[in-house]
């Protein structure tokens, strides 16, 4: 992208291998499909306070394509874009490019771990990414479109993007296990302590006590998460307060009828989620006044539905949604090529 540092990585992504940046795929997970490569870039965040890192998975022949379908992925709390390396394997016939930046304070992006002064700064960063990628694709290809996918906290960020920036060129929106309320009840004493810390030491990062076993029934996913050096389990009282305010504002927008999200939206909800309150996602879906929305639920699935046993069905649902809401021609049948 213009004004950013871009460097191509070597791509020998065998199952379970480490890429040059040190990312470990869960055992048994696919690497990049044939004909795909990885690039990375760094760029300033939306308010110029720190530098963000992004990973871009793309077809090797991307520059030669007349039309390009892109997917921007917003990751969840404490994780990073490197955990989405398997998406091209499942979506290679649906999109030509998958872009995932590490939120500020996450992964290889700058910023204190688990801290943010304003939660909607995440949404502003995402909005800036959408604009830059859309503009770049428009310059380089005759036709292009951008779809947006957010998981967990990334799902909340995606919803904030839709609410705060309805003018953005988003062809469709997908949220998986969107963070609209936490499942576990926080003791009153901890809430009071968080409120106090917000005023006296709001930047103090504390361990969340997060249990990785709630992520997936796939033990390999949990093991890879635990050993991932780029994952963190920190959160400051200010972050906690800001996150709660963003969840409340998003639910209030639906309740009041003022949630004017324009892109077609698909909401994917695991019903055995021990981290995020699935009922709030169902409430949001039911209350959302939208002519083009779809709700899918997954019995027995834990929080990370794209990393779950049976994730193939999830990716089929995502691919079908993107394809059915695309203005571009369908994929040309080929082992390594796509739209022409």
| Catalytic residue IDs | 152, 273, 303
DSSP single-letter state for residue 17:
P
Contact (Cβ atoms closer than 8 angstroms) between residue 73 and residue 149: yes
What distance in Å separates the CA atoms of residue 84 and residue 37, rounded to the nearest whole number? Answer: 14
Q: Is 23 left (phi over 0), alpha (psi -120 to 50) or beta?
A: beta
What distance in Å separates the CA atoms of residue 165 and residue 174, rounded to the nearest whole number? Answer: 16
Cα within 13 Å of Cα(322), Cβ side:
29
What distance in Å separates the CA atoms of residue 7 and residue 17, rounded to the nearest whole number? Answer: 20
**H-state helical runs in 40-143:** 87-91, 120-140
CA geometry: angle 228, 303, 288, nearest 5 deg: 130
| R_g (Cα) of the chain, nearest Å | 19
């Amino acid at each position: 992208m213009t004004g950013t540092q871009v460097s191509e990585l070597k791509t020998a992504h065998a199952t379970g291998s480490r890429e040059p940046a040190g990312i470990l795929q869960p055992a048994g997970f696919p690497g990049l499909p044939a004909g795909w490569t990885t690039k990375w870039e760094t760029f300033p965040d939306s308010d110029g306070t720190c530098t963000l890192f992004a990973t871009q998975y793309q077809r090797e022949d991307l520059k030669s394509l007349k039309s390009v379908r892109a997917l921007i992925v917003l990751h969840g709390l404490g994780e990073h874009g490197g955990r989405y390396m398997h998406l091209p394997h499942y979506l290679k016939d649906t999109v030509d490019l998958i872009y995932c930046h590490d939120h500020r304070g996450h992964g290889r992006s700058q910023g204190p771990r688990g801290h943010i002064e304003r939660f909607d700064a995440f949404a502003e960063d995402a909005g800036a990414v959408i604009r830059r990628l859309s503009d770049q694709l428009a310059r380089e290809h005759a036709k292009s479109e951008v779809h947006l996918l957010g998981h967990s906290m990334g799902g909340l960020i995606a919803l904030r993007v839709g609410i705060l920036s309805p003018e953005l060129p988003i062809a469709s929106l997908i949220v998986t296990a969107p963070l609209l309320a936490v499942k576990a009840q926080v003791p009153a004493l901890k809430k009071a302590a968080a409120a106090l810390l917000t005023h006296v030491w709001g930047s103090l990062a504390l361990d969340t006590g997060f249990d990785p076993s709630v992520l997936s029934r796939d033990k390999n996913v949990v093991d890879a998460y635990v050993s991932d050096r780029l994952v963190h389990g920190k959160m400051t009282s200010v972050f906690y307060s800001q996150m709660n305010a963003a969840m409340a504002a998003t639910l209030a927008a639906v309740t009041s009828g003022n949630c004017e999200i324009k892109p077609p939206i698909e909401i994917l909800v695991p019903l055995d989620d021990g981290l995020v309150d699935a009922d709030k996602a169902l409430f949001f879906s039911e209350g959302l006044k939208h002519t083009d929305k779809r709700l899918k639920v997954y019995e027995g699935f834990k929080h990370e539905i794209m990393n779950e046993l049976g994730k193939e069905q999830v990716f089929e649902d995502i691919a079908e949604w993107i394809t059915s809401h695309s203005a571009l021609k369908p994929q040309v049948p080929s082992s390594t090529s796509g739209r022409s």
